[in-house]
Structure 1
Amino acid sequence: MIRRLTAALGCLLLVASCANIPEQTNAQVIQDSVARPQQKVELPAKDADAITVVRRFIEASGDTAVAEAYLTEEAKRLWRPDNQPTIIEDNFSTVPLPLEAGEDPNVVQRVEVKSTPKGRLDPHKSFRADVSQQNSNSTVKLVRQPDGQWRISETPNNGVLIPISEFTNHYRPVKLYFYDNTSREIPIPDLRYLPGTPLASASEIIGLLLQGPATGLQGAVRSALPPTAVQRTNVTPSRDGATVVNLGQLGNLTAEEKRAIATQIVLSLQDVSATTVRLQVEGLPLVPDQPDWKIRDIQSDSDQTTPKAQLNGLMVVGGQVKDLRDGKPINNPAGDGTYKVESAAQSVDGSQLAVVERLANNDLALRIGGMGEGLRQTPVVGKEMTRPTWQYAAASNEVGNEVWVVADGTINRVVRSREGPWLTLPVNQSEIDPYGKITDLRLSRDGVRVAIVAGGKLYVGAVVRSQGNTSVVIAEPKPLLPSISNVVGVDWLDSSRVVVATNTPTGPVWQVPIDGIEAQRYNQANLTLPLTSITAAPSRQNVVTDAVGMWTATDIGQVWLPHPLSQSQGPNARPFYPG
């Protein structure tokens, strides 16, 4: 009933809005995407006891059209399944509870649901991990219906608990795209989850895109779409098979702004739309000379943040920087032994090198320079220092100009000045400080996120830069592997996933999405603890160093194989890809 009322209200709103649509716009019926056919599960069995009804309700909660069959008519009216649903582990308990005074067990039953929350979907449809790691207990009330069947009359907060397997079956991950909050036009993925079988609704994707970035990225990214923009009609297929997106209230836009909007929309729809996206404003083409867009029309600037194929990776071993492919020292003082190198990082474009040098007094110092030249010592010196990490170059004709490193617990942002010297600028790390000592830090290759190992745990936060790049804050760091407390290293597999090395015997290496919803464990075969380092990059093998040497693997289930240089370089090698 609630869905019929929603659909009717939607039709009334559409009729009311048609007066504002110009004659050239073909109004489309805005469909209720939640009411689309979905995979069905078993409906309530006749004469099922209260415990069974509650269990089947939770197991069916990924498909709200099925789950509501377990509710009374009054409960259906109050139920809010889309209001920040909680995702729980698959194993949950349902146990009977004592009744309250005066309640008849033949009329009323109460059941306690004991579950382990993984997190919830926020209003932006982003997953927010539960950091408490504590079990949750909630009460469900049932009443016997006139036909003798038990039905649920009260759910916790009128919401829904969805087991992770059901969530995976009935919700689809969708990457919305925004832009980094600097002058650079780098598309940044923003992961959301929408109901849909087999695909999420394109209209819902556009609706979320118009709402802007999720909470965790606000201030770090921006939208090319103006805040006044609206969706005039539902996203629908045209007769010739194109996906039609019709917007309104965009205002006066430059050609560059229109292209940025096109890029943002086409990238966000690439997993759910036809091969062609027809972009319109009030029924007319967004770009007059290009009404239709394909992925190949989008020259994504994200290539700036992907290391070129010819960059094979490097490693630090025996105080020298060597080529990861053939083991030869690089042609640089960092390779010939002039510096006693402890760790290093190569810029994304491959032209620059940053190294942590062990000084004669046993202090550590950061040096930076070109790959084919001597490296200049920067003001960063300390007793302890993490391996460096690079911010990508601002433009294709520029070299890397910003390195981050943690020295004695303080994050240093080392920036090349116009005059040439490297200057140290602060980073506001107040939100990460409570989590403990930082032992590894990696900027994402698009520069918008940062992965941090602090107190033995893994966190990912947003890099929020003010206008002019004068102030930088690590915002909203959240744990990605809350149950593992001995993380030793992390690197970015791509812009939406990290790989993590731990000294946990049951799971040494993990692949984790940036929202942490469900980590995947790599094969454990052949690895010998302790692990000491890890590196990853798009379209490359993951490389880890353990107690024996270096090992490589590409896929989750693949057995780790010895790196060709494993025996010659031993367990002291520290491999790294550009970034």
Structure 2
Amino acid sequence: MIRRRFCSALALILALAGLAGCASVPESSPVQVLREVSDGEGGTLPAGPVEGSNPLDLVRDFVFASGSSAAEHGSARRFLAPDAVEWDDAASLTVLDGQFDTVPAAGAQDPNSGVTTIRIRGTAVGRLSSSGAFEPEQATFQQDVTVVRRNGQWRISNVPAGVVVPLSIFRDNYRQVRTWFVDPVRRLAVADLRYVPSVPARAQPARALELLLAGPSEALLDAAVSQFPPGAQLRSNAVVGSDGALIVDLTGIGDLDEPARRLLAAQVVLTLSEVNVSRVRLLVDGEPLLSGTPELTREDVAALSAEVQPGADVPGVVVAGGRVRQLDGPQPSAPLPGPVGNGAYDVESAATTGDGQRLAAVVRMGGRRALLVGGGPGGAVSPVSLDAATMTRPSWTPTGGEVWTVLDGAVVARVLVDGTGPARTGQVNADQLTALGPIRDLRLSRDGMRVVAVVGGALYTAAVARRIDGEVAIRNIHRLRPDDLGEVVAADWRSAESIVAITRGTDMLVGQVSVDGLSVQQVLGNNLTPPLTAIAAAANRPLLVTDQTGVWSFAGGDQAAWRQVLGGAPDAVPLYPG
């Protein structure tokens, strides 16, 4: 979002100096002008009000025009009467889902009087924070706007602070980017979703750097950290050199060791790659941040990304009939060798690590549940000192050093498996989550920074906060799309930014939701037999669900229907590694 008058004045100064954007530039630092980040598309403002518009259409067109943030929402301001010149467009940005209405407000004056009140009515899905992060909150929305007739034309004379934008218009005018921060335990870069105005594109690198310097969003607060010290800033505006590399000159970095400098470089380069910057000349006080490596590309820092996906050679498996079975391969549905597949245990659910080297299984023992941990499929397993009437399916951290499950819907347990001795158990502080109701499903994201949980039939995401003293807590909880999803049964991570959930509804049996709740998309479900009971997902792999007839697979693309991969198994629980 473009800041208030201060930011506009600063942008004007920078523009007069041949610069772009609203970056933080110290007054005492020299500004080096080489050439702009991209060739100048200034962004043509959408059309203003249509002559002769009635009050309802005028307000509706105003809402659509509010999607463009250019020139302090200059297009939307064309709809305002002089009385509304102080409209505070920077106060907030609310996103409406799909259809919205403009109707006369209750008790509104007759339009023949020359003044009336129009109500904007719809469903809000959330708001864009000042940090450029989307914060989900689906709720009924209404806002009243006063409209007056001046010189024969209707104009808005009073509008509440903030901007209201339909989701489709928001998508047209804002670009999703990932800013990158640091997992303090694994010391790897993790992504944090943000949104920046699409126009002008030349300002996007400056805005991305501004968000990066400001630190993680509320969603990852206390979970991710930044290698930028509090006093770090741009020494000069980021500009493109004559060789095409973006020059980013920082100051206030302090005394960072080489690993910390490399992580900082990864934060900058990965973030700028989101806005089409392919090469970065990263400097500190005019000197290369990394000695001997003045210029960096995404490939140079890719190894520092925490994004982990199951290896292509690690197969998915399924638990059915109390045994862990193959899901594909030369003998689909054949039980795996070893105790989890030969009937020695009555297995209810299971999960392997991303590399397939370890397995955890929840087994039934009378009316209780126990957790077994051991080698990969076919290997020996040992019981862990956990006992409960119910346990959720296991979920592994990306290192394979911890496996999580929920006991009796109320206690989030983690089991430490470090290979140096017997597995050790510990708890996760999940008080904020359990206060919402019983936890029916919980999955760690494959970068280890978040969980998705089904609590009391609702879908939630939260951050995994780890402290130096070893405490682990679930924080920053957000509910995703309650009106669209209804009662949720189970969920899994499709990617670090995408979740797939199954529901008890009929309108949306399977839905894909962005991690921040901005978007929800119905997945084809025309040949499934509800109710659905289990789901498995992973990047670049088909979705797997269990219905009343067995396990089905859907890869999307040109596939017109789900394909059954295991029949006669309504109790099956499919799983991908992780």
| TM-score > 0.5, shorter chain as reference | yes
- Among candidates 56, 66, 69, match of residue 75 of structure 2: 66
Q: What is residue 288 of structure 2 aligned with on the other side? A: 285
- Among candidates 149, 153, 173, match of residue 176 of structure 2: 173
- Among candidates 127, 141, 146, match of residue 141 of structure 1: 146
Q: What is residue 548 of structure 1 aligned with on the other side? A: 549
Cα contact 1:28–1:233 (8 A) shared by 2:
no
Aligned-partner SS, 1:300 = helix
Aligned-partner SS, 2:219 = helix
- Among candidates 290, 306, 325, match of residue 309 of structure 2: 306
Cα contact 1:280–1:286 (8 A) shared by 2:
yes
Q: Deviations over 1:327-370 (max 9, x none)?
A: 332232111111110111111221111001111x3311111111
Q: Deviations over 1:371-395 (max 9, x none)?
A: 25321111111111111111122xx
- Among candidates 316, 321, 330, match of residue 318 of structure 1: 321
Q: What is residue 350 of structure 2 aligned with on the other side? A: 344
Q: Is structure 2 residue 132 aligned with structure 1 residue 130?
A: no
Cα contact 1:364–1:382 (8 A) shared by 2:
yes
Aligned-partner SS, 1:256 = helix
- Among candidates 183, 191, 194, match of residue 192 of structure 1: 194
Cα contact 2:42–2:200 (8 A) shared by 1:
no
Q: Measure the CA separation in 1 of the matches of 2:482 and 2:25.
A: 47
Q: Measure the CA separation in 1 of the matches of 2:5 and 2:534.
A: 56
- How far residue 12 of structure 1 moved from its aligned partner, in angstroms, is 5.4
Q: Measure the CA separation in 2 of the matches of 1:532 and 1:271.
A: 37
Q: Measure the CA separation in 2 of the matches of 1:289 and 1:423.
A: 44
Aligned-partner SS, 1:305 = coil
- How far residue 130 of structure 1 moved from its aligned partner, in angstroms, is 1.5
Q: What is residue 118 of structure 1 aligned with on the other side? A: 125
Q: Which residue identity lines up with residue 95 of structure 1 in the other structure?
A: V
Q: Deviations over 1:71-120 (max 9, x none)?
A: 134523x223233211112322222347789x995443322222211110
Q: Is structure 2 residue 227 aligned with structure 1 residue 219?
A: no
Q: Deviations over 1:387-415 (max 9, x none)?
A: 1111122xxxxxx2211111112211122
- How far residue 209 of structure 1 moved from its aligned partner, in angstroms, is 0.3
Distance 1:17 1:220, change over 3 A: closer
Cα contact 1:10–1:30 (8 A) shared by 2:
no
Q: Which residue identity lines up with residue 21 of structure 1 in the other structure?
A: S
- How far residue 449 of structure 1 moved from its aligned partner, in angstroms, is 0.3
- How far residue 561 of structure 1 moved from its aligned partner, in angstroms, is 3.1
Aligned-partner SS, 1:432 = helix
Q: Measure the CA separation in 1 of the matches of 2:548 and 2:518.
A: 30
Q: Measure the CA separation in 1 of the matches of 2:104 and 2:43.
A: 31
Q: What is residue 489 of structure 1 aligned with on the other side? A: 490
Cα contact 1:520–1:556 (8 A) shared by 2:
no
Aligned-partner SS, 2:132 = coil
Q: What is residue 397 of structure 1 aligned with on the other side? A: none
Cα contact 2:461–2:479 (8 A) shared by 1:
yes
Q: Measure the CA separation in 2 of the matches of 1:327 and 1:546.
A: 16
Q: Deviations over 1:29-71 (max 9, x none)?
A: 99999x9633643321123222222111011110122111111
- How far residue 419 of structure 1 moved from its aligned partner, in angstroms, is 5.4
Q: What is residue 85 of structure 1 aligned with on the other side? A: 93
Please give the root-mean-square deviation of Cα atoms over the aligned residues, in Å.
Answer: 2.8
Q: What is residue 404 of structure 1 aligned with on the other side? A: 404
Q: Deviations over 1:166-213 (max 9, x none)?
A: 10110111111111131x123211111111147471100000000000
TM-score by length of 1: 0.90
Higher deviation after alignment, 106-115 or 172-181: 106-115
Aligned-partner SS, 2:539 = coil
Q: Deviations over 1:210-252 (max 9, x none)?
A: 0000012111001122221112333322222222222221122
Q: Measure the CA separation in 2 of the matches of 1:447 and 1:276.
A: 29
- Among candidates 383, 388, 391, match of residue 394 of structure 2: 388
Q: What is residue 442 of structure 1 aligned with on the other side? A: 443
Higher deviation after alignment, 58-67 or 80-89: 80-89
Cα contact 2:266–2:304 (8 A) shared by 1:
no
Q: Measure the CA separation in 2 of the matches of 1:504 and 1:465.
A: 36
- Among candidates 72, 75, 78, match of residue 84 of structure 2: 75
Higher deviation after alignment, 192-201 or 307-316: 192-201
1:504-515 aligned at under 5 Å gives the runs: 504-515=505-516
Higher deviation after alignment, 189-198 or 504-513: 189-198
Distance 1:387 1:282, change over 3 A: same
1:222-301 aligned at under 5 Å gives the runs: 222-301=225-304
TM-score by length of 2: 0.90
Distance 1:518 1:557, change over 3 A: farther
Aligned-partner SS, 2:61 = helix
Q: What is residue 527 of structure 1 aligned with on the other side? A: 528
Cα contact 2:373–2:384 (8 A) shared by 1:
yes
Q: Measure the CA separation in 2 of the matches of 1:530 and 1:541.
A: 20
Distance 1:6 1:99, change over 3 A: farther
Q: Deviations over 1:1-24 (max 9, x none)?
A: x999854444558999676225xx
Q: Deviations over 1:482-540 (max 9, x none)?
A: 12332111111111111111122111111111101111111122111111111111221
Q: Measure the CA separation in 1 of the matches of 2:84 and 2:41.
A: 22
Aligned-partner SS, 1:260 = helix
Percent identical residues? 36
Distance 1:150 1:519, change over 3 A: same
Structure 2 unpaired stretches of 5+:
18-23
Q: Measure the CA separation in 2 of the matches of 1:362 and 1:464.
A: 34
Q: Measure the CA separation in 1 of the matches of 2:488 and 2:25.
A: 54
